[in-house]
Structure 1
């Protein structure tokens, strides 16, 4: 029990952090926001999956990936393919030249459903694909890079190139992927209308639950021997390698876990927003996702969630209030965080939050009874001192 308490919850301070985040996401937001804003928060939380994965990959593993949007997009496209096939039944698409296929395929003169789309008629296969396809892609990339000891800035450049290539590929294959518009007009999930307010509320709680599951799994990794090895590899990789550990395999593993987290976030984004497009796959969204982790604190799983919420709330507020200046305001926010909070929001909590918790949780000392208190020694009188001095002279 104690081992699970320490590994999953992170001890007392970790439990308090989880409870605070849980109250915020599961109580305050649902009760205080209308359904539109709550759905917006759900979209933000889907990005938080990527930020949590980056804490494992970048913060502890030292692997800065600037292409996490690739895995986010792949997971989102897998879910969107299933939803689009369900929305493209022969009755709903009877006005098309070829009923029963997605509308963008009909616009591109495709007369039959492509082979790669066929398995996505099954929801079970879709869930498996959301988890397996991005993880397999990360495995291939990781084996190709880490086994050849490609790391640091070179790995970041390679992941950027992969994000650009995939984005161009999706846009170019318009008949298969919907092109620049993406896959849109998603309506139901196994006959359940995901556009209603009640469905959006349920999907929000499912999203939050999956996010907490990923946080707990990430915390289990970090509190295990693997977590200690990741930190050792980040600081002294050669020393770990000379100790007999296969550094490349550990890097591949944590990179795959981060990719799987990102894919889950992409799938939940598609369900809550109702579309998926290549604009979430390229270089720019991937860099933004790194900023989420940096603002929250790249060494804190919970901080990554807060960083994601803060940055996206800032984007929404500034773009609504100052439509011409919001980019400059966001840039100022990032500069301020880097200059004054180099460890992100988690660093602020480490300095101030824990101090407050310790202050309020400290038990006051009980007052001692009068009989127990030691009595102060009485000060000698000047007369006594003089008598003692006279006696001393007489004895001489």
Structure 2
């Protein structure tokens, strides 16, 4: 069996190798570094969803921090209620709230919290996506609108101190499903769960983009009007993929809270939302694996630079983004993909045909001119 670049078999092998390496990581990393990698993998789930809408469909969302934050808050609310042991969460008591708000009640259940962490971002994306895409709002106008959503959401969460924890957010968790969240064994378990989810999301994204749906999404990205003239409804496809991306962002938020132990409005603001887009840009748009590599590489560089150069790390990160944009416009994976395609085309191109006279001379005969 011959493997070709970008084939299903190649992607399957790449997925298996990646998951195998991630499963072996706990043997080589310290507890602290393993926790960081787990957090980066949670971000990678979000980045793959963002790649679906930006890389494949051409929808640049600068507000995905909202969907990430909503999923994270849903899980954090459950963890906070468990830590409160039947009483009011501490920040509510400090804010003068005397009774648990009605919308907190479903989060007593871990299952309900997980379900809502996916459902709430999806419903918000459905509402926003339908209104904007139906009215053919796209390009920079949609990007600005998504940033407006971030501003509104962050302002709401900061202002409702008694219900959301305000600017401090939610933290001080104790257990999840009876397991102490701070225990090293529990953290390792969370890491493996994240690895499994990353593998499932990779398979799901590759399945979505490898068939007819993927071709339609790419066609919408390249020429939406032409897709409409061919009889397809771009609105339905754009709303669907936008909701899928929001659901993956909510799932990423769940795993982030379990790894990090805190969520605040600052982590769902404009700057984090823009950083999420940069993860995909660095790794390579419309590659899926590029979203993972870009996320891990960018966040690892951010951690390394901040530890080694605490006063200069923002400049170094900015320089890295500039270098990638100038010299690798298609991202790391996209540029490697193009390089391999050019090399393959060069090595497989046939030699130029020789003239009949040249062939005859080589054979020692004269060409037949009759």
TM-score normalized by structure 1?
0.84
Distance in 2, Cα, partners of 1:109 & 1:50: 36
| Aligned CA-pair RMSD | 2.2
Write out aligned runs for 1:179-328 (5 A): 179-328=166-315
Q: How does 1:1-396 map to 2 (within 5 A)?
A: 10-27=7-24, 29-90=25-86, 100-351=87-338
How big is the shift at 1:352? Answer: 5.4
Stretches of structure 1 lacking an aligned partner (at least 5 in a row): 91-99, 359-378, 380-396
Map Cα deviations across residues 284-338 of structure 1 (whole Å, 9 max, x no partner).
Answer: 1000000000000011101111100111011101111011111111111001101
- 1:45-94: CA deviation from partner (whole Å, max 9, x where unpaired): 1111111011110011010000000000000000000000000015xxxx
CA distance in 2, matches of 1:45, 1:357: 32
CA distance in 2, matches of 1:70, 1:121: 23
Unaligned 5+ segments in structure 2 are 346-363, 365-370
Cα distance in 2, alignment partners of residues 203 and 102 from structure 1: 24
- Structure 1 residue 24, shift from structure 2 partner: 2.6
Distance in 2, matches of 1:215 and 1:19, equals: 10
SS of 2:99 mapped into structure 1: coil
Instruction: Summarize the Cα distance change of 1:245–1:357 in structure 2 as closer, same or farther, 3 Å threshold.
Output: closer
SS of 1:87's equivalent?
helix
Change (3 A) 1:168 1:11: same
SS at match of 1:62: coil
1:131, CA displacement in angstroms? 1.1
> Number of residues paired by the alignment?
346
1:187 and 1:274 in contact (8 A); partners too:
no
Matching residue of 1:387 = none
1:355/1:189 CA distance change after superposition, 3 Å: farther
Structure 1 counterpart SS, 2:38: helix
**CA 1:247–1:355: 2 relative to 1, 3 Å:** closer
The alpha carbon displacement at 1:278 in A equals: 0.6
Cα distance in 1, alignment partners of residues 20 and 336 from structure 2? 17
1:349 and 1:38 map into 2 onto residues whose CA distance is: 28
CA drift of 1:187 comes to 1.4
Q: In the alignment, is the contact (CA less than 8 A) between 1:79 and 1:126 conserved in 2?
A: yes
Residues 285 and 334, structure 2, Cα contact 8 Å, conserved in 1: no
Partner Cα distance (1:206, 1:190) in 2:
14
Contact 2:80 2:170 in 1 (8 A): yes
Q: Is the 8 Å Cα contact of residues 183 and 277 (structure 1) preserved in structure 2?
A: yes
Larger radius of gyration: 1
Separation in 2, partners of 1:129, 1:193? 23
Secondary structure of the corresponding residue to residue 342 of structure 1: coil
Are the counterparts in 2 of residues 86 and 190 from structure 1 also a CA contact under 8 Å?
Answer: no
TM-score, scaled relative to structure 2: 0.89
Match of 1:364 in 2: none
